Structure 1
Amino acid sequence: MELNKIEELLEKYFDGNSNEQDEQKLRDYFAQENIAEHLVPYRQMFVFFEKEQTLQSNKEFKLESAAKNNSFKRFSYSIAASVILAIGAGIFVYTNNFNSHAEDLGTFNDPEIALQETQKALTLLSKHVNTGYESLQYIEEYETTKNKIFNIN
């Protein structure tokens, strides 16, 4: 194999653009006895890679993906339970505080202040009732006109 081709293959290899056939050509070249002087440092690397590919381990490995998956499930369940607990505690505190304030509404120690507040509330209520009564007058007028048109009565 010519030297230029080997140098091109080495450049492709170090750029990460080589394929299996190119790498096999490089391993074959560096397995030879006579190689170019300036390429000698790469020989040890390719011989090492070739030697290490043939080694096999006798050690058995257990995959712990199931254990990791279990721990992830436990973690996510604990987070979900914490969130639910926090929401429940928040609702409990909110409702208890709201109810305690609701019991205090409308109670006065001084009867005169209580009378004034009652009068304010009744005045506000009467304004709304009067507005509703004015609307009823329009309905009454409509009924009278309808009766005249259709000669009812």
Structure 2
Amino acid sequence: MELDDIEKLLEKYFEASTTVAEEETLKAFFSQKKVPSHLEQYAPMFRYFSNAKEERFTKSVPLKPRKSYYKWISVAAVAVLAFGVYFGPNRYRDYQEQKEAEFAYQETRKALNLLAENFGRGTEKMAYLNQFEETKQKIYNNN
């Protein structure tokens, strides 16, 4: 093959637009002993590709079974979800009842405080009545 054709094929190769047949032509060209000096830099690359294609992996790879924790994680998630569905509404209902009881307690406390306050005012008035009663008894006793 002519040198110009090889240079054009190299350009196409580096632009990734060559066909498999053209790549085989380049490999065959660069596997020769005599390569032009300005193209010698590409020869090791194509020789490597030719050699790498023939290499095979011959060692055995020991395969260890993987421990699957996904099953146990999913079982635990289902258990937590079932626990929440079973006990969740009761706990929420208890919480709501407790809140309502607390609210009722606070309202009753306010009402009783208001009542005690009013009784306190009434007690002050009763002190005047008691004093009036004592004075009246003194007047009756003196007569």
Coarse TM-score class (shorter-chain normalised): 0.5 to 0.7
- TM superposition shift of 1:78: 7.4
Q: Distance in 2 between matches of 1:80 and 1:100?
A: 30
Correspondences of 1:80-99 after superposition (within 5 Å): 80=77, 84=81, 91=88, 94-99=92-97
Pick which of 96-105 and 19-28 moved more: 96-105
Q: Distance in 1 between matches of 2:39 and 2:11?
A: 12
Using a 3 Å threshold, how does the CA distance of structure 1 residues 55 and 112 change in structure 2: closer, same or farther? Answer: closer
Q: Identify the residue that residue 24 of structure 2 maps to in structure 1.
A: 24
Using a 3 Å threshold, how does the CA distance of structure 1 residues 15 and 87 change in structure 2: closer, same or farther? Answer: farther
Q: Please, which of 88, 100, 103 is the counterpart of residue 101 of structure 2?
A: 103
Q: Distance in 2 between matches of 1:5 and 1:32?
A: 16
Q: Identify the residue that residue 8 of structure 2 maps to in structure 1.
A: 8
1:56 is paired with a residue of what secondary structure? coil
When normalised by structure 1's length, the TM-score is 0.52
Aligned CA RMSD, in angstroms, stands at 3.9
Correspondences of 1:63-74 after superposition (within 5 Å): 67=66, 70=68, 73-74=70-71
1:35 is paired with a residue of what secondary structure? coil
Correspondences of 1:51-62 after superposition (within 5 Å): 51-61=51-61
- TM superposition shift of 1:105: 4.2
Q: Distance in 1 between matches of 2:75 and 2:97?
A: 31
Q: Distance in 2 between matches of 1:76 and 1:30?
A: 57
What is the identity percentage for the equivalent residue pairs of Structure 1 and Structure 2?
Answer: 25
Q: Distance in 2 between matches of 1:74 and 1:35?
A: 62
- TM superposition shift of 1:25: 0.7
For structure 1, which runs of at least 5 residues remain unmatched after alignment? 115-153
Alignment length (residue pairs): 110
- TM superposition shift of 1:76: 6.7
What amino acid is the match of 2:5? K
- TM superposition shift of 1:27: 0.5
